Chain A
Amino acid sequence: MDQFTLNLIVVGFTFAIYIGIAIWARAGSTAEFYAAGQGVNPIMNGMATGADWMSAASFISMAGIIALAPVGGYTQSAFLMGWTGGYVLLAMLLAPYLRKFGKFTVPEFVGDRFYSKTARLVAVLCLIVISVTYVIGQMRGVGVTFSRFLEVSTDMGLYIGAAVVFAYAVLGGMKGITYTQVAQYIVLIIAYTIPAIFISLSLTGNFLPQLGLIGGYAPQGGEISMLAKLDQVVTELGFTAYTADTTNMFNMFLFTMALMIGTAGLPHVIVRFFTVPKVADARSSAGWALVFIALLYTVAPAVGAMARLNLTTTFWPGAKEGSALSAPALSLADIDSKPELSWINTWKATGLLEFSDKNGDGLIQYFNEPKAVADANKKLAEATKALADAPADADKTPLEAAVAEATTARDAALAEAKLGDKTLAELGFVGNEVTKVDNDIMVLANPEIAALPGWVVALVAAGGLAAALSTAAGLLLAISSAVSHDLIKGAINPNISEKGELLAARISMAFAIALATYLGLNPPGFAAQVVALAFGLAAATIFPVLMMGIFSKRVNTAGAITGMLAGLVFTSVYIFLYLGWFFIPGTNVYPNTPDQHFFGISPLSIGTIGAVVNFVVAYAVSMATKAPPQHVVDLVESIRVPKGAGKAVAH
C-alpha cells in the first residue's frame, strides 16, 4: 500500500470518529452549546483544553522554532515556559472564580462585574480581535497539512477542514467540540510521541525523550552528553552554541511573561473552565490540562535538539563520531542513491529543504556563513543576475567588470573567514549550500529520518490536522458565543427566547466559519505577525480586567474601560511602530531590529508592559471616581467562595 492511500485511510478514519462524536453529542440547549451543560469531567476537560490550546504551530512548528533559531535553543525556552506557566495563573487567579460566577462568556463577566454594557462591548471587541487573528493561522494550518499529505491543493484542504469543523461545531457547540477535542488530543499526542521515542532511542538510548534531552550521546558510547555534542557540532560549523546564554535577558524575561499572561487571558482557553461541574474541578482541571500539554511541551525541546543534531550529522557524516569537519560533507551521489537518505529529496520536493552545490564539488556543505561572506555572496549574486538579465545587444563590459569585482571581494572574504582553524578558502567552501531548513521539517520529517513505518507518517498527518482543527473549533466557539450571547442577547435583543438564541448561536458559528475560511483562503499579508498582537492584546486587556474584577472590590466601570483601552492602544501602537500601521508593509516608523527596540523590548514582549499600563490606569482612574455599588461588592464576595455554584444561570 502506498503512503498516499495509508494517509487517506488514517485521516479518513479520524474524521469519521470526529463526526460520529458530533452526532452523539448534539447540543439541545444554550447551556450545552456554550458550556457543554457544565457536566464535563475535569480530566476530560483537561484533555480537551490541551487539544484546544495546542495549535498547528505547537504541533508542527514549535520544535523547529526552538531548534533552528539563530540565537540558539536556550533563548527560545521562553515559548516553553510562557505557554505552560500561564496555566498556573489561570488555576489560581481566574478559573475557579469565573466558574463560580457561572455564566457563559468572558465579556458577560466583564459586563456584570463592571455594571456596564460599554465595558462588555469593549471586552467583545478585544475578544473578537484576538480570536479572529488567531483562527486565520489555524485555517491556514489545516490547508497546508492537507496539501502536504493528501495531494490536494491548500485551498481544497481548507474547504474540507472547514466542512468538518462545521459539522461538529454547529451541531454540537461546546459539547460536541469538547468531546471531539478529547479524541483529537489522543490522536495528536500519539502522533507526536512515537517518532520522538524512536529518535531518542537511536541518539541517546533513552526511551523517554525527556531523559534523552539530558542523556548521553549514544553513537559515542554516551561519554559525551547529547547537548554537549550538539553544542560542539554546531559551533564547529559557525552557528551559535545551542545552550548559549541569551544576549538580552531583560527581553527574554518580558517575552516569557507576555506569553504567560497572554495564555491566561485567551478567551477560548478561559471558557473551557466554564464547562466543569464544580469550582474545585476548575482548579484541578487546570492541572490536568497542563499535564496533557506537558506531555507534548516537555518532549518538544528534546525533539528539536535531537532532530537538529540528526540533521547536522546527516550532512556531516564525520560529526557522528568526531568533529564535523573531520570527514567530507554529504555527497549528492549518496543523497540520490542511499535509501536511508531518500527523505532528503522527498522534503526538497516540498520546498521545506533546499540545497545546491555552489562550489561544484559534488558535496553539500552546511554551515553558518559569517556575515562578511554572506554579504559578499549576496552582492556577487546580484551582479551575476544583472549580467544575465542584460539584453543581448547591450554593452556588457561594465557588468562583467562588476561581476569580476564582486568575485574578488567574495574571495577576499572567504580568505578572511575561518571555520575552526582553517579559512573558508583553504577548505574550498564558497558558501552555505543548505539554503533552507524550514522549522516544520523538524517534526514532519522525523518519522522518515528515523525510518519508521508508513502508518506513523500517516499518523503525523492526522495529528497535525487534529491540532489545527481542535484549536480552530475552540476559537470559533469563542467568537460565535460573543456574537450570539454578548451582542445579540446582551445588547440587541435581550428578550430573545432560549430556542432563538440557540439558533442565533448556530448561525453565528456558521458565519464565523465562513469568515475564517475566507481569511484562510486570502490571508492578509500580516498573518505571521498577528500572533504577536493576539498574545499582546490578551495580556494587556483581558487578563488584567478579569484579575482586577476578582481581586479588587474598588475597581469600577470607568477604571475597567480606561484600563482596557489604555492596554489595547499602548500595545497595538508599539507593535504597529515596528510592524507597520495595521500591519501594512512599509508604514512602520522604526525598522524591526533589536538595536532599534525601545530598551531592547521586542514587539513580541510588549504585552507585559501593556498589562502593567492597564493595571495602573484602571487603579488610578477607579480611585479618582466613585466606588462600585453594593450589589457589585456582593457579587465579588460571592464569586470568591465556592459554595453555591451549582448549575449555570442563563439569565
Chain B
Amino acid sequence: MADKSSANAYWAANVRIILISLAVWFICSFGLGILLRPALKGIMVGGADLGFWMAQNGSIYVFIALIFIYAKMMNKVDREHGVEE
C-alpha cells in the first residue's frame, strides 16, 4: 500500500461493514432467538413461534447470507481501493 490515507480509508470501510454485519448477526441470533423470544410469542413461522424458529433454523440462514454478502461487498471495496489480488 503506497498511500497511507487510502489504506486507512480501506480499513475504515471494512470495519464499518463488519460492524453493520455483526449488528444483524447479534439481533437475529441473540436478539430474536433468545432475548426477545418471550415478547414475540404471537408471531408464527409455520408451526413455530418466531423466536423458536430463529433459534433452531432461521439464524443459521441469516449467518450464511451475511458471510456471502460480506464477501461480495468486500470484493467491491477491494477493487475501489485497488487492493484486490
Chain A contacts to B: CB under 8 angstroms: 73-74, 77, 80-81, 84-85, 87-88, 91-93, 96, 210-211, 213-216, 225-228, 243, 245-246, 249, 252-253, 256-257, 278-280, 283-284, 286-287, 290-291, 294, 297-298, 301, 637-638, 640-646
Contact B55 A80 (CB under 8 A): yes
- B42 at the binding interface (Cβ < 8 Å): no
Q: With A92-B21, A213-B57, A287-B71 in contact, is A84–B47 under 8 Å at CB? A: no
A421 to B45: give the CA distance in the assembly, Å.
Answer: 32
A sample of 9 inter-chain contacts (CB < 8 A) reads A81-B59, A85-B29, A213-B46, A213-B57, A214-B57, A253-B34, A283-B74, A284-B68, A287-B68
- B18 at the binding interface (Cβ < 8 Å): yes
A51 to B14: give the CA distance in the assembly, Å.
Answer: 30
Q: Which of A81, A640, A641, A644 contacts B60 (CB 8 A)?
A: A81
Q: With A245-B38, A642-B78, A642-B83 in contact, is A91–B71 under 8 Å at CB? A: yes
Q: Could you tell me the distance in whole angstroms from the C-beta of A285 to the nearest C-beta in chain B?
A: 9
0/1 string, B56-85, CB within 8 A of A gives 1: 110111011011101100110010011111
Q: How large is the interface on B (under 10, 10 to 19, 20 to 34, 35 or more residues)?
A: 35 or more
- B27 at the binding interface (Cβ < 8 Å): no
Contact A243 B48 (CB under 8 A): yes
Q: Which of B14, B53, B61, B83 contacts A643 (CB 8 A)?
A: B83
How would you classify the secondary structure of chain A's contact residues: helix, strand, loop or mixed?
A: helix
- B43 at the binding interface (Cβ < 8 Å): no
The residue in chain A whose Cβ has the minimal distance to the Cβ of B37 is A245
Residues of A within 8 A of B84 (CB): 280, 642-643
Chain B contacts to A: CB under 8 angstroms: 1, 7, 10-11, 14, 18, 21-22, 25, 29-30, 33-35, 37-38, 45-49, 52-53, 55-57, 59-61, 63-64, 66-68, 70-71, 74-75, 78, 81-85
The residue in chain B whose Cβ has the minimal distance to the Cβ of A100 is B85
Contact B71 A283 (CB under 8 A): yes
Q: Could you tell me the distance in whole angstroms from the C-beta of B8 to the nearest C-beta in chain A?
A: 9
Residues of B within 8 A of A645 (CB): 85
The residue in chain B whose Cβ has the minimal distance to the Cβ of A96 is B74
Contact A243 B52 (CB under 8 A): yes
- List the 3 closest pairs (A to B, CB-CB), nearest first: A225-B47, A214-B46, A77-B55
The residue in chain A whose Cβ has the minimal distance to the Cβ of B19 is A92
A211 to B58: give the CA distance in the assembly, Å.
Answer: 12
Q: With A214-B47, A225-B47 in contact, is A88–B33 under 8 Å at CB? A: no
Residues of A within 8 A of B64 (CB): 287, 290-291, 294
In this complex, the member of B1, B25, B56 whose beta carbon has the largest number of chain A beta carbons within 10 angstroms is B56
Contact A87 B67 (CB under 8 A): yes
Contact B21 A280 (CB under 8 A): no
A83 to B79: give the CA distance in the assembly, Å.
Answer: 33
Contact B63 A85 (CB under 8 A): yes
A228 to B52: give the CA distance in the assembly, Å.
Answer: 12
A151 to B57: give the CA distance in the assembly, Å.
Answer: 37
A334 to B29: give the CA distance in the assembly, Å.
Answer: 45
Contact B55 A643 (CB under 8 A): no
Q: Which of B1, B7, B33 contacts A81 (CB 8 A)?
A: B33
A371 to B24: give the CA distance in the assembly, Å.
Answer: 42
Contact B67 A211 (CB under 8 A): no
